[in-house]
Chains A and B, each alone.
Chain A
Amino acid sequence: DIQMTQSPSTLSASVGDRVTITCRASQSISNWLAWYQQKPGKAPKLLIYKASTLESGVPSRFSGSGSGTEFTLTISSLQPDDFVTYYCQQYNNYPWTFGQGTKVEIK
């Protein structure tokens, strides 16, 4: 299985901050990477797919980059609604695998 490692596990930031979350794959996954946002008690929501393609309806402050084994999710200016948990997921090889999650909390 491909291991997905997110860092940091927790990120403390303020409204308006620019933040970056990193996701590393244990082997190359080309650009078959998705980012999800999950609010407490809710299903994950697709933010970005193919590493950098913004899902329809997702605010442009979210962006993704990377290929191969290293990927980033950037939020250019944190909004109050963004203080939740984010997951990366590879879909290059079965079984698809998720990162362990990054919780963005208010500093």
Chain B
Amino acid sequence: QITLKESGPTLVKPTQTLTLTCTVSGFSLTTTGVGVGWIRQPPGKALEWLALIYWDDDKRYSPSLKNRLTITKDTSKNQVVLTMTNVGPVDTATYYCARRLLSRASSYDFWGQGTLVTVSS
């Protein structure tokens, strides 16, 4: 059974650094073709693509956020971590992680349940 689960703080103060963790099970982050990405959704708004990391450590970022984002993986823990620096109220959103498999030629086929992060003083 393939699952992804996001974890992290629910409340962050402006200018702080946000660290979110995606813990996966049912597949391996070292399998050729596996990618895990982050997507966010502000309340009542559309989805926004943030970053993606592949099994070979290839990393892709949204250009508009690239200066503030870092995506890494810890294969021993089956985790993908997203760090966002200097957060502000506009970063309030539900953050999702999701899996991509190159071999399927699909986009994200499995998603976590999401975690709501509020940025407020």
Q: Are both chains from one complex?
A: yes
Q: Are A91 and B107 in contact (CB under 8 A)?
A: yes
The answer to whether residues A89 and B114 also contact, given A43-B96, A94-B60, A95-B61 and a CB cut-off of 8 A, is no
Q: Are A43 and B112 in contact (CB under 8 A)?
A: yes
Q: Are B47 and A87 in contact (CB under 8 A)?
A: yes
> Would you call B106 an interface residue if the criterion is a C-beta within 8 Å of the partner chain's C-beta atoms?
yes
> Would you call A55 an interface residue if the criterion is a C-beta within 8 Å of the partner chain's C-beta atoms?
yes
- Taken together as a complex, chains A and B put the C-alpha atoms of A94 and B63 apart, in Å, by 9
Q: Are A50 and B47 in contact (CB under 8 A)?
A: no
- Taken together as a complex, chains A and B put the C-alpha atoms of A44 and B46 apart, in Å, by 11
Please provide the chain B residues from 14 to 68 with a CB less than 8 Å away from any CB of chain A in the complex: 46-49, 52, 60-64
The answer to whether residues A46 and B108 also contact, given A89-B47, A98-B46, A100-B46 and a CB cut-off of 8 A, is yes
Q: Which residues of B contact A45 (CB under 8 A)?
A: 111
Q: Which residues of A contact B113 (CB under 8 A)?
A: 42-43
> Would you call B105 an interface residue if the criterion is a C-beta within 8 Å of the partner chain's C-beta atoms?
yes
Q: Pick the contact of B60: A36, A44, A95, A101 (CB < 8 A).
A: A95
Q: What string of 1s and 0s marks CB contacts (under 8 Å) between A81-99 and chain B?
A: 0000001010100111111
Q: Which residues of A contact B77 (CB under 8 A)?
A: none
Q: What string of 1s and 0s marks CB contacts (under 8 Å) between B88-121 and chain A?
A: 0000000010100000111111011110000000
Nearest A residue (CB) for B100: A91
From A34, A94, A100, residue with most partner B Cβ within 10 Å: A94
The answer to whether residues A95 and B109 also contact, given A43-B114, A100-B46, A101-B46 and a CB cut-off of 8 A, is no
The answer to whether residues A34 and B111 also contact, given A1-B63, A43-B96, A98-B46 and a CB cut-off of 8 A, is no
Q: Are A50 and B105 in contact (CB under 8 A)?
A: yes
26 residue pairs of the A-B complex, CB under 8 angstroms, read A1-B63, A34-B108, A43-B96, A43-B111, A43-B113, A44-B96, A44-B108, A46-B107, A46-B108, A49-B105, A49-B106, A49-B107, A50-B105, A50-B106, A87-B47, A95-B60, A95-B61, A95-B62, A95-B63, A96-B49, A97-B49, A98-B48, A98-B49, A99-B46, A100-B46, A101-B47
